[in-house]
Amino acid sequence: MIKARITPASRPGGQWRRAQTITAYLFILPNFIFFFTFFLIPVAGAVALAFMEYLPGSQRFVGLDNFRAVFADPLFGVALRNTAVYTFFVVLFWLGKALLIAYLLDPLSKFTQTFFKSAFYLPSVTSGVIISLVWLWIFNPTFGLLNALLNLLGLDSVAWLGNTSTALPALIFMHVVMGGGSSIVLLSAALARIPRELYETALLDGASRLGVFRNVIVPLIQPTLLYLVVTGTINTFQVFESVYIMTQGGPQFSTTTVVYLIYETAFVQFQLGTASAQAMILFLFTFVLAAVQFKWLGRSVEY
């Protein structure tokens, strides 16, 4: 008796599964082409530029000279410090604001929650350029809204964006006020998944509301908090448009961030090799910081 050899393609349903696999690859092919063309190739080009001296009409391999130049530049240290300070305070206050608002919205009706979440999410879908222009008027030393309120209280006007001691805090304040919409939505969803019986049991056992928040709510939403801290840190490290529109890195480099410095090095001074080296250092710094956050904050997270 001769037995026919059964291959994966000749098994029942094998051809259908193969056709299904080919169809799936065809669906992801357009997206992969765009990803390869507009992301992977430019990133590979930027990595190559970091080791070259790139001038119009000539390119020369210089090894690690661009990285040595970046670390020897005191302005890069200032930009890195400004970016770190900006990121620390924006993520801290923006996440605290989002957590407080989500906690206050949690007991409300679905309709009320939807209204407020939509209102807080609105700045996230508004152009950053428009938001920066509105806050330029608010911070204006002559006819701005903030100084008008100070004058009503009998206080002197302040050059919020023209003073080295107030320019960076003003930018931080703007981003804390306008940011956090998507975080409120995610935290509200995380709070809604917590069984209400846990709240009631803890309160019946004599726990205070602060104790319930610290010992019941925070541990249960810790995966969401970890995600928001990591993504928020990465996003705020890339702050650019508000600095470009509102302060141009001034006064006296007090608001110069790393990404703004990369822009100036590349497109004002036309030192593309040095700018690429700065971008590589920023990427490595952000990657290490995210890994530390996952290692440190993710120890007690239970998925």
* Domain annotation for the chain: domains and CATH numbers: 15-62 (no CATH), 71-297 (1.10.3720.10)
Query: What are the pLDDT digits (tens) for 44-58?
Result: 988 888 898 887 677
Cα–Cα distances in angstroms (integers) from residue 149 to residues 18, 98, 154, 163, 246, in the given order? 69, 26, 9, 19, 21
The confidence score (pLDDT) of residue 11 equals 56
> pTM above 0.85?
no
**Range 228-241 average pLDDT:** 89
**Range 104-118 average pLDDT:** 86
Distance CA 191, CA 105 (A): 10
Distance CA 145, CA 177 (A): 15
Query: What are the pLDDT digits (tens) for 139-193?
Result: 988 888 888 998 888 888 888 888 889 999 999 999 998 887 888 888 888 888 8
- Model confidence band, residue 302 (pLDDT cutoffs 50, 70, 90): low
Give me 76's structure tokens: 């890069």
The confidence score (pLDDT) of residue 87 equals 92
- Model confidence band, residue 1 (pLDDT cutoffs 50, 70, 90): very low
**Residue 60 phi, psi dihedral angles, 5° rounding:** -140, 135
User: Does 283 or 200 have the greater pLDDT score?
Assistant: 283
User: Which residue type occupies 233?
Assistant: T
Distance CA 171, CA 132 (A): 9
233: Cα separation from own chain's centroid:
5
The confidence score (pLDDT) of residue 5 equals 56
Which of 54, 13, 123, 111 has the alpha carbon at shortest distance from 265? 54
**Range 205-211 average pLDDT:** 78
Q: What is the DSSP letter of 123?
A: G
Q: Which of 88-97, 181-190, 204-213, 216-225 has the lowest mean pLDDT?
A: 204-213
Q: Is the pLDDT of residue 79 over 90?
A: yes
